[in-house]
Chains A and B, each alone.
Chain A
């Protein structure tokens, strides 16, 4: 009835009345409203209502083989697509298996929503079967988390979870869903378009006075360097970064997480800085008079000895997280804001520089004198690992998505593959999680099915989530796993060689499965390559496979090291190696 008492002809009453449905079904409706098209998950008792709803839902569910794989796949899906990744696990061991993956996403600021099942609300706190306090456990590794006690709160909580995960500095949000709450019948009256969180404000502006000060500093600088991090990629601001660099002719170095934010083939690129950065990037930072940190967090792997980091520089720091400013390093011109927003204001205020000066000539000299290079293999039937990476780059023409495991393989990937686009290098930077690469490749391939996806792996790391080969088989995903097999926990062995007198304590892992047979046991393709001249053909063959994963077991020089290297606690100026061919 309308207010004046007349009867309105439409809409008919049945359409206005909202049907009741199980909260589990409402959950999936909400996910659809959020634009979720894939969930990485693993079932169990208390999530049965959710799985029952999934059975008749349009949302794709990828059945992993271990919940850690679900979290990493969702994480990489988010990094590759720019959307929020979603994973789902049952209570107890399912939830705890997610923990490493959640911590990984937290350290690398990845937007992730993790749903976990929980025992019935009446049993919470009673040590019920498969009960675990997952909101308590994940308190320090989530941006926020929820235990949903009432079905009426479901829609609001899902909305908030996605909003918090993706806005400001992104991060994982966990929502714990008790079974009885998921079975409660509720009305779905629509998905809210807004959230009301009085304690959470999205950064939408920046201090213009600071922007002006930054522009002046840039215009006055003689030896400026841009130090770009993961925040540039998160902000989708690569083009603006390039505009800034090119307008003022500023050399750019990136962190491991910032790789791809600036094309590494560009003449202004210095590659990566830090512990395994290029000599010229580390020298440039050590000698610059202005350091422009853009969406980077002064990690200790980057700065080395902090008191000797950029010792002659005035420092501008652009970061969306105010707590990052001054946390590790005192800066001169802090700007709290989104990289994109800040650069939109900053670039027009920066003066165009026509010429390259003394600074560029110095850098060019360093580049000539200390290029990234490597020598000949010192063992028969072993390939130089760096050569394999170069071939991967060559064969994919720099256009593949590369995921990595952790260790030497990861560093060589960062050094020798030249990335020119954001979201193409997917690696575990902050947590350094061995076992990330394979599930990450799965997530990335699902996000970007048209791109080749290659996991550059170590023989140790690949064994940490090798079961995800089953997931890739089931989903018919042609991800290529290139194992740089040195039969060592190579990165740790390198430290033992350099800092512990070559005492290789528990780092020899030559007892290992035959990776070719192992791949074949799953129905995947397996290959082994021990000679450099066969590398390219093997890669081409692998990239031809379209319906299943491929393992290539590259036998690489056992004791090859990653150089240059800044020893822990040393300044960036004091690097080991990289000045001759090793």
Chain B
């Protein structure tokens, strides 16, 4: 099962390497990892999606805790939370299919951010399911390039 960990770390150079090295060294599989600044300039927040059973996730959390620069870890998998991911897709788009693609873009409330002679770049945000769905819908047209940011998440309410 996929778990989403929200990890508050010191905003120091090298922290990302420490976390990545830990995952590599212990053979934990990172599904995605994002890191960015927060409302507090001295810390960063990582959102790590990792695949594994409960025993493995417990180990991941405990091992992460041992890193001196890791301040707080929350497994928000089961918490009501908002999560978002952004994707950019460059899709083959001859004049015959453009209209159809634009319809899909409309349905998913995505945006076209670049128009080439035979291509379109589409930007979409949403939760993982939506991003997967948009990817699937565009695939038949020929995806030339695709990049996903990985997930960021925040627990709802006053927590």
Give chain A residues whose Cβ lies under 8 Å from the Cβ of B18. Answer: 139
Please state if B55 and A139 are interface contacts (CB–CB under 8 Å). Answer: no
Give chain A residues whose Cβ lies under 8 Å from the Cβ of B59. Answer: 323, 326-327
Please state if B68 and A199 are interface contacts (CB–CB under 8 Å). Answer: yes
Please state if B17 and A323 are interface contacts (CB–CB under 8 Å). Answer: no
* CA distance in complex: A140, B17 (Å): 11
* CA distance in complex: A164, B14 (Å): 18
Residue A136, interface by CB 8 Å: yes
Please state if B63 and A323 are interface contacts (CB–CB under 8 Å). Answer: yes
* CA distance in complex: A326, B70 (Å): 21
Query: With A198-B71, A200-B68 in contact, is A139–B63 under 8 Å at CB?
Result: no
Nearest Cβ in chain A — how far from B40, in angstroms? 11
Query: With A136-B17, A139-B18 in contact, is A321–B55 under 8 Å at CB?
Result: no
Residue A391, interface by CB 8 Å: no
Residue B79, interface by CB 8 Å: no
Please state if A199 and B70 are interface contacts (CB–CB under 8 Å). Answer: yes
Taking CB atoms and an 8 Å cut-off, the chain B residues in 40-78 that contact chain A are 55, 58-59, 62-63, 65-71
Nearest Cβ in chain A — how far from B20, in angstroms? 10
Please state if A140 and B25 are interface contacts (CB–CB under 8 Å). Answer: yes
Identify the closest chain B residue to A327 (Cβ). B59
Nearest Cβ in chain B — how far from A181, in angstroms? 16
Give chain A residues whose Cβ lies under 8 Å from the Cβ of B55. Answer: 326
Which of B10, B14, B17 is A199 in contact with, Cβ under 8 Å? B10
Nearest Cβ in chain A — how far from B96, in angstroms? 51
Residue B21, interface by CB 8 Å: yes
- Interface size for B (C-beta < 8 A) is 20
Nearest Cβ in chain A — how far from B27, in angstroms? 12
Which of B21, B66, B71 is A323 in contact with, Cβ under 8 Å? B66
Give chain B residues whose Cβ lies under 8 Å from the Cβ of A197. Answer: 68
* CA distance in complex: A164, B69 (Å): 12
Please state if B21 and A140 are interface contacts (CB–CB under 8 Å). Answer: yes
Interface of B: prevailing SS? helix
Residue A135, interface by CB 8 Å: yes
Query: With A136-B17, A140-B21, A326-B55 in contact, is A199–B67 under 8 Å at CB?
Result: yes
Query: With A135-B14, A136-B17, A140-B21 in contact, is A323–B69 under 8 Å at CB?
Result: no
Taking CB atoms and an 8 Å cut-off, the chain A residues in 539-559 that contact chain B are none
Residue A498, interface by CB 8 Å: no
Give chain A residues whose Cβ lies under 8 Å from the Cβ of B17. Answer: 136, 139
Give chain A residues whose Cβ lies under 8 Å from the Cβ of B67. Answer: 144, 199
Give chain B residues whose Cβ lies under 8 Å from the Cβ of A212. Answer: none
Interface centre among A135, A143, A199 (most CB of B within 10 A): A199
Query: With A139-B18, A199-B10 in contact, is A323–B68 under 8 Å at CB?
Result: no
Interface string of A174-211 (1 = CB under 8 A from B): 00000000000000000000000111100000000000
* CA distance in complex: A198, B68 (Å): 8
Identify the closest chain B residue to A197 (Cβ). B68
Query: With A139-B21, A140-B21, A140-B25 in contact, is A323–B14 under 8 Å at CB?
Result: no
Identify the closest chain B residue to A141 (Cβ). B25
Give chain B residues whose Cβ lies under 8 Å from the Cβ of A199. Answer: 9-10, 67-71
Residue A322, interface by CB 8 Å: yes
Identify the closest chain A residue to B72 (Cβ). A199
Taking CB atoms and an 8 Å cut-off, the chain A residues in 110-169 that contact chain B are 135-136, 139-140, 143-144, 147, 164
Please state if B68 and A164 are interface contacts (CB–CB under 8 Å). Answer: yes
Please state if B62 and A322 are interface contacts (CB–CB under 8 Å). Answer: yes
* CA distance in complex: A306, B17 (Å): 33
Give chain A residues whose Cβ lies under 8 Å from the Cβ of B62. Answer: 322-323
Give chain B residues whose Cβ lies under 8 Å from the Cβ of A140. Answer: 21-22, 25
Give chain B residues whose Cβ lies under 8 Å from the Cβ of A147. Answer: 14
Interface centre among B18, B22, B55, B66 (most CB of A within 10 A): B66
Give chain B residues whose Cβ lies under 8 Å from the Cβ of A321. Answer: 66
Please state if A144 and B68 are interface contacts (CB–CB under 8 Å). Answer: yes
* CA distance in complex: A326, B61 (Å): 13
* CA distance in complex: A85, B10 (Å): 28
Nearest Cβ in chain B — how far from A435, in angstroms? 24
* CA distance in complex: A144, B68 (Å): 7
Identify the closest chain A residue to B58 (Cβ). A326
* CA distance in complex: A199, B19 (Å): 14
Interface string of A13-31 (1 = CB under 8 A from B): 0000000000000000000
Interface string of B3-21 (1 = CB under 8 A from A): 0000001100010011001
Give chain A residues whose Cβ lies under 8 Å from the Cβ of B21. Answer: 139-140
* CA distance in complex: A3, B103 (Å): 75
Nearest Cβ in chain B — how far from A39, in angstroms? 24
Identify the closest chain A residue to B25 (Cβ). A140
Taking CB atoms and an 8 Å cut-off, the chain B residues in 18-35 that contact chain A are 18, 21-22, 25
Give chain A residues whose Cβ lies under 8 Å from the Cβ of B69. Answer: 199
Taking CB atoms and an 8 Å cut-off, the chain B residues in 80-95 that contact chain A are none
* CA distance in complex: A199, B63 (Å): 13
Give chain B residues whose Cβ lies under 8 Å from the Cβ of A164. Answer: 68
* CA distance in complex: A154, B17 (Å): 23
Interface pairs A-B: 5 shortest CB-CB = A323-B62, A199-B71, A144-B68, A140-B25, A200-B68
Instruction: Enumerate chain A interface residues (CB-CB to B < 8 A).
Output: 135-136, 139-140, 143-144, 147, 164, 197-200, 321-323, 326-327
Given A144-B68, A198-B71, A199-B10, 10 other A-B residues pairs in contact with their CB atoms under 8 A: A140-B22, A143-B66, A144-B67, A197-B68, A199-B69, A322-B65, A323-B59, A323-B62, A326-B55, A326-B58
- Listed A/B pairs (11) with beta-carbon separation below 8 Å: A139-B17, A140-B21, A140-B22, A143-B68, A197-B68, A198-B71, A199-B70, A199-B71, A323-B59, A323-B63, A323-B66
